[in-house]
Amino acid sequence: MKLIVSKYLGYCFGVNRAITALFKTIDEQPDRKCYTYGPIIHNKRITDQLTQRGVAVIDDISLAEPGSLVFIRTHGVSGSVLQALKDRGVEYMDLTCPYVQKIHNVAKSTERLLMVGDIHHPEVIGILGDAKGDYRAVTTLEQLRTVLREHPDFSYTMVAQTTFNMELWLEMKQYVESFRTVDGVLLDGENFPVSPVTICDTICHSTSDRQKEVEKMAKDCDYIVVIGDKHSSNTKKLYEIAKNYCSACYIEDVTELPHYLSEYKKIGLTTGASTPGSTIEEVINTMMNENNNVNLMEEDIDFAAALEASLQVTRVGQRISGTIGVVGTNEVQVELGGKHTGFIPASEFSEEELATLKAGDEVEAFVMKVNDVEGTVLLSKKKLDSIKGFEKLEAARDNNEILTGTVSEVVKGGLVVYVNAVRVFVPASLASLRKDTDLETMKDQEVRLRIIELENAGRRKRIIGSIKSVLKEEKDAAQAKVWESIEVGKKYDGVVKSLASFGAFVDIGGVDGLVHITDLAWTKIKHPSEIVKEGDNIEVEVKAFDPETHKISLTFKKANEDPWMILPQKYEVGDVIPVTVLKLMPYGAFVSVIPGIDGLVHISQIANQRVEKVGDVLKVGDEVEAKIIEIDYDAKKVSLSIKATLPEEEAVEESDAAEEVAAEEVVAEETAAEEAVVEAEAEASAEDGSVEE
C-alpha cells in the first residue's frame, strides 16, 4: 500500500493563531474563570482538553460571570454579542479568524449584502448579524439567479463563507461575470434583467488550496482518508470532493479508521483545517503499523510540539527567517515562531519557485508591515532579494566578476537585465559584439555580463553592465583554443549559425566554418535548408583550413553513409532489383538504385521490341524490376536492363551501339556541367570572404 500525504495538514493559519493564543492565555492566568463562546473550533478533542482545563463552552452570554474572560470562536460573532459581553462586565479575547473578520468589515460597510454560504453555520450567522443593511443568503447557483432576478434595481456586494466549496463559488462568479448591458439594462446569459453585483473573493486560501489538493489526490488514488470533526464545514467539503472521484472515508480519530484499507493499493490522506497534529499522527502511525509495506510518498511529517513562542519583537525593516506553512494561490504563509504569522505575496515568487515550495522549507524575507491586531506580518522576498542582490553586485564590480542575468525588457538605448533581483542597464553599444544585433531577440534570454558602473544614492541606484566585454573575452579564448588544435579530419560538435544558397555556416566553438552544399548530404539537394536549419547542433569534420585567412572548410557527410560504399554490400552485377523511374530522357530512363545512387536504363534495354520513345513505355513514378548489368565505381555509374528481366521473345533488331555511346556521352557532359557549377559557387563564396573568423 502506498500512502500519499497531503501537503496541507492540520491547523490553518486562523485556527493555529487562535489555539496558540488561547492556551497561552489560560496558562498565564490559571486561576481565572474562562469560557469559549461556542466551540473555539470544530474539534471535539480540543473542546475536551479545554473542559479538562476548566474552560467551559457557552452559547448564552448570561452564563458568563462578570469579571471572567470569554474567548470568541474563530468563526466570529456579531458586534451585538461583543457589546453584550461588555455590558455584562465580561472581558473577551476576539480569536475570530482574520479572513472571517474581513467579511465582517464588508458586511458593516455595504448597503445590500449577498452572502454565499450555509445560513446555519456560526460564521455566516455572525457575519449576517453585522450586516449594515439588507442581506440575502444563498447556497446554490439557482438560488443566486432567483435573488438577482427579483429586484434588478437593487445592487449587491457578494461574499462567500471562508470554507465554501470553491467549485460552486467559481460557478457563481462566472454567472455574475457573464452579465452584459443591452440598451441600458443589465442582462444575464438567459436575457433576464438582473441586479448589478460587486464580487469580493473571501474564500480562505487555505480552504481553496486544500480543496484543490484533495481533488488532485482523489483523481490519482484508489481511496481517500479525510480526518476532521463531523461538525467541521471545511472538512465535510473535502470529503464530498474526494468521494466524487474515488472511495473515501470521513473519520474524527483513529478509532474510526476502516479495517479494510489494506485492500487498496494507493491511499491519500488529508485533514480539515481544525484537525490537531496529534490526531493526524495517531492515524498515520496506525496505518503504518497495520501495514508494514506502507510507503509515505510525501515528506515525513514532524509532529513534535512547537517551540515556545519567541519574545523577540518584529519590526518593519528587519530581515527575518521563518518556515513555510502553507503555499496558497495568492500568498505564502510563513511561520515566524512567535506571536505573528507572516505572509509573502505569491507574485513575489517565480512559477518555478512556487512549484517547488513546500511546507517546512526555510525562507528569509524583509518585514514590510506589522499588524499586531490580526497577528500578521507582511513580508517581502523581492525587497530582501534586491538588498542582497545589490550587495553582491558591489562585490562583483570590485572583483571584476562575471554575472548571469535575464533580459527583462528592451528600452530606448539598450537592455534592462535583472541580476540577483536587481535592475541593471546595459547600453546598446555594450549589449553585443555586432552593432546590427536586433536587441528584441535578446528579450527573456539569459546573458553573462560584468558590472562596470555602480552608484547608490538613496533610493536612486545607477548600475551599468556590459555583455560585450564578456562575449569578447569568451570569443577570443574560444578562437585561440580552436586554432591551437585544429587539423584536417578532426570532428567538432557545431551549431548552425546561418544558411546561404551555397551552404551552411557552422560555429565550431567560437570560429565559423563553411559546409558547402555538396558536403551536406550524399544526395543532391537544392538548398541547405533541406538538411539543416539555424540553431541545429550537428557534428562536422574539417576538410581544409587556412590559418592566415582564417577560413575553414567543413563536411557534414559521414564516410560510412557514402552510398558508393554501401552499394557493393547490398547489390552486385547480375542482381535483379526493384527500381522507381525518376526521370525520362530521349536516350533512356534514370531509376533509383539505393538512396544517393541513380542508374540508367538505356532505351535499348527497356523492352524486347524496338522503342522509339521512352515515354511510350515508361513514365515517372513507375515501379519496375531491372537487372544490374554494369557498375563503374570509378565513374560512379550504374547501368541496368529491364529487358533482361522479361521473357525471351523473337530476336529483335540489332541494337544501336552508336546511340548508346552517344547517350553515355550526354550523361558525362551533364555530370561535368553540374560539377563545374558547384566548383564555381565554392570559389565565389571563398572569394567574397564569407568563411571568416
pLDDT score at 313? 60
Whether the per-residue pLDDT at 337 is higher than 90: the answer is no
Same domain for 509 and 519, yes or no, is: yes
In degrees and rounded to multiples of 5, residue 126 shows phi and psi of -65, -40
Contacts 24+ apart (CB under 8 A), 683-692: 684/502, 685/500, 685/502, 685/503, 685/514, 685/516, 686/551, 690/500, 690/505, 690/514, 691/505, 691/512, 691/513, 691/514, 691/551, 691/552, 691/553, 692/512, 692/549, 692/550, 692/551
What are 390-406's pLDDT values in tens digits?
888 888 888 889 999 99
Task: State residue 296's pLDDT score.
Answer: 55
**Integer Cα distance of 405 and 686 in angstroms:** 39
- pLDDT band of residue 13 (cuts 50, 70, 90) is confident
Q: Is residue 396 part of a domain?
A: no
Q: Given this model, what pLDDT does residue 375 score?
A: 66
Q: What is the mean pLDDT of residues 520-526?
A: 85
Confidence of residue 293 (pLDDT cuts 50, 70, 90): low
Per-residue pLDDT, 693: 36
- Asked if pLDDT for residue 669 goes beyond 70, the answer is no
Chain position carrying cell 537487372: 627
- Residue 516's alpha-carbon distances to 194, 510, 525, 526, 670, in angstroms, are 72, 19, 11, 12, 21
Task: Write down the pLDDT at residue 361.
Answer: 87
One domain for residues 593 and 535: no
Same domain, 461 and 484: no
- Mark whether 480 and 445 lie in a shared domain: no
Cell numbers for 228, please give them: 476532521
Residues 409, 456, single domain; the answer is yes
Q: What's the pLDDT tens digit per position in 260-270?
A: 888 899 999 99
Average pLDDT for residues 204-218, to the nearest whole number?
A: 85
Q: What is the reported pLDDT for 98?
A: 84
* CATH number reported for the structural domain that contains residue 345 in this entry: 2.40.50.140
Task: Provide mean pLDDT across the span 32-59.
Answer: 91
Is 242 part of any domain?
Answer: no
Evaluate whether residue 36 is within a structural domain: no
More confident residue, 455 or 181: 181
Residue with cell 539555424: 534
Do 576 and 630 fall into the same domain? Answer: yes
Residue 342 pLDDT more than 60? yes
- Residue with C-alpha cell 470529503? 239
pLDDT at 373: 55
- Active site annotation includes 123: yes
- Indicate if the pLDDT at residue 659 is higher than 70: no
Residue with cell 510540539: 305
556 with 568, same domain?
no
- Mean pLDDT, the chain, whole residue set: 85
Bridge partners of 404, per DSSP, are 448
Domain annotation covers residue 143: yes
* Percentage of residues of the chain with pLDDT beyond 70: 88
The predicted model gives 155-184 an average pLDDT of 93
Is position 283 within any domain? no
Residues 554 and 624 in one domain: no
Q: Over pLDDT 90: what percentage of the chain?
A: 47
Work out the average pLDDT over 673-684. Answer: 49
Q: How confident is residue 286, by pLDDT bands cut at 50, 70 and 90?
A: confident
Q: What is the mean pLDDT of residues 544-568?
A: 87
Residue 311: pLDDT band with limits 50, 70, 90: very low
Residues near 389 by Cβ (< 8 Å), separated by ≥ 6? Answer: 419, 420, 421, 422
Average pLDDT over residues 429-454: 88
- Non-local (6+) Cβ contacts of 396 within 8 A are 403, 450, 451
Last residue of a domain, one of 531, 561, 591: 561
Asked if the model's pLDDT at residue 87 lies above 80, the reply is: yes
Q: Which residue has the cell 515515354?
A: 615
Is the domain of 189 the same as that of 105?
A: yes
Last residue of a domain, one of 493, 527, 561: 561
pLDDT for position 687: 44
Q: What residues are paired with 493 via a beta bridge?
A: 539
- Count of structural domains within the chain: 5
> Could you tell me if residue 241 is inside a domain?
no
In a domain, 182, yes or no: yes
Give me the catalytic one of 28, 65, 91, 123.
123
Same domain (yes/no): 548, 479: yes
Residue type, 507: D
Q: Of 22, 235, 13, whose CA–CA distance to 121 is shortest? A: 235
Most confident of 285-294, 334-343, 443-452, 471-480: 443-452
Whether residue 113 is contained in a domain is answered as yes
Span 185-195, mean pLDDT?
A: 94
> Which of 174, 199, 224 delimits the end of a domain?
199
Domain that holds residue 605: 563-655
pLDDT at 613: 94
User: Taking 90 as the threshold, does the pLDDT of residue 466 lie above it?
Assistant: yes
Nearest alpha-carbon partner for 475 in 507, 439, 504: 507
pLDDT of residue 575: 93
Question: Regarding predicted confidence, which is higher, 79 or 562?
Answer: 79
Whether residue 137 contacts residue 128, with contact meaning beta carbons closer than 8 Å, is answered with yes
DSSP state of 193: B
